Structure 1
């Protein structure tokens, strides 16, 4: 059975240089995580990546720029995004049966980002885009970013909403007081990344974005970035939200969720109960969650799904979601 991983990351040396030029590591400690084997695997878009895909049992990766992407890059980000997308298009053209791509966007320049998304989808054949949380000090529900969401809805392509490290004030208040290494881990992959991504999604929902763009589709990784596990509690906000529908409606209408290498059948079961099996997507979160031993294929065989639900999880739901791209 064909197996497509829809959250599989890469990085380029040009983007690393852009991060270093603005000393981004000082404000986002996750930049320092892109070292050693992880960094090498992020930069590789050919032999080692393909070999490890074969080893884990993944037929295709949907490539997306790792966090914090271009969200804090200045005026050079439109040109950098365009060059990155052209590079990705070349990679996909060399291995069309193994790779698809999500567009890298100059998110701080929403009108230019919308145009680059359109170019990436209509000219390069990309399947959507990925956003990495806040843009500078601005949350994703800020009106200045609306053109980007509108473009995705008009194009009929999804937006993968990826975690990024919370701002310093939040890290200081909630994730500090240990060693620097523990503080950084706690604020990022330990927990902070995932709260932040879930909160960004809920801000979009509560802002009324899905009432304005009812066909817009968002993808959350890591089985819904904690949101789904509090769906019952979130429903209590229905009485004050002023939205056109209950929150549960948007979870089933505007949200897809993916595994991100968290291969736990009971998480899958909970996600399916909230959004439906037709909205479950497979991913390994390469290279961060890569584990040897046929890990991806092994989870597919033991996840508890069968028949059309299993086919959908493996590849069918993604292909349906991106059929217009």
Structure 2
């Protein structure tokens, strides 16, 4: 059974150096995580990556720029995004059966980002885009960012909402007071990343984004970034939200969720109960959650889904979402 991982990350030396040039490593703790062996795996788009894919049992990686992407860069990010996307397209051309891609966008320049998404989908054959939370002080529901989502809906291209570190004031208020390395972990992969990504999705819902763009499809990693586990509490906002539908409708109509290497069957069961088995996607969160020994394939085989739903989880749901043949 073909196994496609849809949250599998990369990095370019140019973007790494751009982060350092603006001092992002001093204010975003996640930048420091992209070092050592992790950095080597992020930069590699060739044989070593393919060997690790084979070892864990993954047939295809859908490549996306790691957090915090280009969200803190200005006009210079327009050409930088084009170069990153062209590099991905070249990697896909070398290994067309092993790699796909989500577009890297110059999100600080929304009109240009919308055009780059169109180029990536129509010309380069990319499957969608990845966004990493806030853009400066703007949350993703800010009206100035709507051209990106309008372009995605028009193209039928899903948008993956990836975590990024919370704002410094939030980190100081909620995630500080311990050793520096504990503060950084608590604010990022321990919890902060996941609250931040889930909140960005909920802000899109509450802002009426999916009423205005009913065909827009969004993906959350890590089994829904905590959102699905509070679906009942979120439903209590229906009486005040002023939305066209109950919040549960947007969870089942506009949201896909993926594993991100969290291979826990009871999380899968919860996600399936909320969004449906036809909205489950597979991913390993390479290279952060990489574990050798056929780990990905073993989770698929023992995930507890019936065969048709298992095939959907492995590859069919992604192919249907992105307009590929599921034959």
Q: Give TM-score scaled by structure 2 length.
A: 0.99
Partners of 1:156 and 1:324 within 8 A in 2: no
**Aligned residue number for residue 166 of structure 2:** 166
State the partner residue of 2:235.
235
Cα distance in 2 for partners of 1:147, 1:131 equals 13
Instruction: Map 1:1-325 to 2 at 5 A.
Output: 1-323=1-323
Structure 1 unaligned residues grouped into runs of 5+? none
Cα root mean square deviation, aligned = 0.8
In the TM superposition, residue 193 of structure 1 has moved relative to its aligned partner by 0.1
The 2-side partners of 1:75 and 1:155 are apart by 24
SS of residue matched to 1:69 = coil
d(CA) in 1 for partners of 2:179, 2:163: 22
Q: Is the 8 Å Cα contact of residues 64 and 101 (structure 1) preserved in structure 2?
A: yes
Question: Aligned partners of 1:74, 1:150: CA distance in 2, in Å?
Answer: 21
Deviation at 1:33, TM superposition (A): 0.5
C-alpha deviations, 1:124-155, integer Å up to 9, x for none? 00000000000011100000000000000000
The alpha-carbon deviation at position 244 of structure 1 amounts to 0.1
Q: CA separation in 1, counterparts of 2:168 and 2:101?
A: 31
User: Structure 1 runs of 4+ off > 6 angstroms?
Assistant: none
Q: Alignment partner of 1:145: what SS?
A: helix
SS of equivalent residue, structure 2 residue 96 = coil
| Paired residues of 2:74 and 2:109 also in contact (CA < 8 A) | no
Distance in 2, Cα, partners of 1:46 & 1:192: 32
Mapped contact 1:158–1:217 kept (Cα < 8 A): yes
Paired positions, count: 325
- Identify which range, 209-218 or 30-39, moves more after superposition: 30-39
Q: Secondary structure at the match of 1:134?
A: coil
Partner secondary structure for residue 70 of structure 2: coil
Return the offset for 1:324. 6.6
Measured after TM superposition, the shift of residue 73 of structure 1 is 0.7
**CA apart distance, 1:27:** 1.6
Pairwise CA distance, 1:75: 1.5
Q: Does the residue aligned with 1:173 lie in a helix, a strand or coil?
A: helix
CA distance in 1, matches of 2:251, 2:314: 21
Task: Answer whether contact 1:157 1:324 (CA < 8 A) is retained.
Answer: no
Superposition deviation, residue 274 in structure 1: 0.2
Please list every run of 5 or more consecutive structure 2 residues that lacks an aligned counterpart in the other structure: none
